Amino acid sequence: MANKFDLLASNWDQKSTRVEIAKTFVNTVKEKISKMKEFDLLDYGCGTGLVSFGFVDDVKNITGMDFSEGMLEVYSKKIKEYNLNNVKCEKHNINDNHLPQNSFDLIVTSMTLHHIKDTNDFISKANIALKSNGYLAISDLDKEDGTFHDRGNDGVEHFGFDKEQLTAILEQNGFEIIFYENVYMAKEHYPIFCAIARKRES
């Protein structure tokens, strides 16, 4: 059964705000994290690859994961279209499955966390999936009143995130915050933050 993201996938890249949020996120991550050439990158909630493909020339390998088959179809078409051999994608549901352990140097997730029910669970799984000193970079909505999604809030688990609460969850799960700021203003009054955290040595 198709979900709403499957139905929206074919036109997903046509919304300029989505493209701009992704571009801003990618550029911020590149500014804050250097020497990524040998990185294995996971883009969680990759959608059509607006974030993933921004890192193609900067990292060694990219894995895109998403629960929407429609999004992954578009993503796969881009891999073939651009003739990329260092990018792959797969279907994944974080609610039911773990991530591969000790596999990535950098996990990025853009505008996905508010669709994941258990924030703590995702961040805990991300920590386990990262290699030593790996990075988790999150782009998402600052706390909002539930009016951001103009098609309704079906599938929305959180109306954005409070900075102090998200920082606490990251720190409790073994991360050290290296950057956390609002980097984009969507629709004139919805701040989008970028948080970058580094996995602490255990």
Lowest mean pLDDT among 1-10, 70-79, 117-126: 1-10
Helix (H/G/I), strand (E/B), else coil: 45: coil
109 token code pair: 């997730």
Give per-residue pLDDT as tens, 35-70: 999 999 999 999 999 999 999 999 999 999 999 999
Under 8 Å between Cβ of 137 and 109: yes
| Domain count across the chain | 1
Give per-residue pLDDT as tens, 96-124: 999 999 999 999 999 999 999 999 999 99
Residue 13 located in a structural domain: no
**Mean pLDDT value across the chain:** 92
Q: Could you list the residue range(s) of the whole structural domain that residue 103 is in?
A: 32-199
Q: Is the pTM of this model over 0.75?
A: yes
Residue 24 located in a structural domain: no
Q: For position 138, which CATH number holds?
A: 3.40.50.150
